[in-house]
Amino acid sequence: MAAAAPTTTAAEVVPAVIVGGVRVGKALQDMGKGDDLLVKRGEAMPLDFEGPILVCTRNDDLEDVLESTPKSHWNAF
């Protein structure tokens, strides 16, 4: 009896919003395909995105990041 060939499922990767433009945020952007959006300190969070939000800031900036995140995305993922 022949063994079944393994199957693989390709996962779709959606663009992300990366909050924080220093080392970690920039590294994540560089590792992507070029369609992620980098949001730096003081910039507005986009309202019309569907992907995840990757927060790469210091812990004392988290409150500001949360407040600038659209409420519709707080429980999205």
Q: Which pLDDT score is estimated for 4? A: 66
Backbone angles phi, psi at 62, to 5 degrees: -65, -40
Backbone angles phi, psi at 3, to 5 degrees: -75, 145
Q: Which residues contact 70 (CB under 8 A, 6 or more apart)?
A: 45, 47
Q: Is residue 3 part of a domain?
A: no
Q: Which pLDDT score is estimated for 42? A: 83
Q: Is residue 34 part of a domain?
A: yes
pLDDT above 90 (res 76):
no
Q: Which pLDDT score is estimated for 54? A: 94
Q: Which pLDDT score is estimated for 12? A: 82
The total number of structural domains in the chain stands at 1
Q: Is residue 37 part of a domain?
A: yes
**pLDDT tens track for 15-70:** 999 999 999 999 999 999 999 999 998 898 888 888 899 999 999 999 998 888 88
Q: Which domain holds residue 21?
A: 17-61
Report how far residue 55's alpha carbon sits from residue 70's, in angstroms, rounded to the nearest whole number.
14
